[in-house]
Amino acid sequence: MDPKALRAQREGDLKGMVALAMLGADEDKLVKHFVDSLEDIDSAFTFFAQRKGGTILGLEPGQRLGRWETNVRFNERMDRDPQLYADMVRQPRYMMAGFTQEATGLPIVSFLAQVKEVPFVEEDEGVHFLLLPACHRGCGPVKSEAADECVMCGLPRPIATSNSKPVQGLTTTLDRIHALDDYLVRSLDTSRAARDLVMQDPTQAFAQASQTLFGASPEELFGIHTTRIVQDTESILYSIRLADHTTKRVVGAPRVKTAAA
């Protein structure tokens, strides 16, 4: 990173960190928080300064992506760049802070202040991870009023959950799998029975959603036979290495267009 750009970024990050620290009340805790944050930020920028390869996502100037689109983009770049994958394995939290900033404009310090752990989990062939998002305090400033989900954590906004959007743009296998995930995440607020099924038997819940939306099992469509849950918290944000779930048969239009239908 250019030294001048790094300095400017640090100045902005430190201002944000001071603002966050001032929200507390205990002096000793404030000092410890301040020192820990400085060390964390210093470690993060040392990592980025030493890292080779330029930008993580390679976006166009001003381009913004939501969490799902960011993860797909990152996975595509890892497929082409083994070093990028190695960096993610070594420092998933810093890497996610970096590509979240590129995708949303959220400062790295805001990400690091809230997200204390980023488990990097990898799908295997036939095994799918269903991500249950949780909203983070740091993502508020970059929410898009035009979108129906938070662009950082991917959590559906309440207005979208109660007025589910049609399933659209299902042009790829990943699009269809994400549509099923989105359907299930939205279903968590519709009934206790739906939530219990997702939490207790995600494989069955995913299979039922697949039948509802596409009229076939996920094993027939994508070769997915097992679904596992990964669940964010306010301080933990998961990053998923997507497997190549190849479509096994032609997928037609979804049978229903909303989670409530």
- 150 pLDDT band, cuts 50/70/90, is low
Nearest to 246 by CA among 226, 209, 218, 227: 218
Q: 3-state DSSP call for residue 121?
A: strand
Please give the Cα distance from 55 to 71 (Å, whole number). 15
Quick: pLDDT tens for 123-139: 999 999 999 988 654 45
- 214 pLDDT band, cuts 50/70/90, is very high
- 41 pLDDT band, cuts 50/70/90, is confident
pTM of this structure: 0.76
Quick: pLDDT tens for 173-206: 999 999 999 999 989 888 899 999 999 999 999 9
* Site of tokens 């699009």: 175
By mean pLDDT, which of 37-51, 93-107, 235-249 is the weakest? 235-249
Residue 259, pLDDT above cutoff 90: no
Please give the Cα distance from 37 to 53 (Å, whole number). 26
pLDDT at 163: 38
